[in-house]
Copies of this chain bind each other. A is one copy, B any other.
Amino acid sequence: MLSKKTKYGLKALTYMAKKGGNEPILISEISEKENISKKFLEIILLQLKNAGFLGSKKGKGGGYYLIKSPEKITVAALIRILEGPIAMLPCVSLNFYEKCDDCPDEETCSLSRLMIEVRDSTLQVLENKTLADLT
């Protein structure tokens, strides 16, 4: 299950991409239009900025804006920033791998083999969908 944070982040970015243009968009505007707590959204957008997806401008006329074009932002990349691993188990995660502690040998573990299949089929979808597909 995706957390609200991830869901909100995806909705906020979709809103921004839909709107297009290069002018900064207010947190409060996104917050109102997408029914997201403004303070919570601040945290989310800041995180997306630190990850290199958004730029920001302070002061009057300020706000957040997309840095890359929506076609170049995959949903998989966004979920990894906001949520963390996409895989169902840490021991089969590509970007957040952690060793399995109760499992003597990951190579021969039938559960990990299955979860690799699940991961790959999920990535097949998420790596090929971009922000542009959500608009």
Contact = CB atoms under 8 A, between A and B. Distances in A.
A85 interface: yes
Nearest to A100: B7
With most chain B CB atoms within 10 A of its CB, the pick from A1, A75, A84, A110 is: A1
The secondary structure that dominates the A interface is helix
B11 A111 contact: yes
Nearest to A121: B121
Interface residues of A, number: 32
B110 A117 contact: no
Interface in A1-33: 1-2, 7, 10-11, 14
A102 B90 CA distance: 31
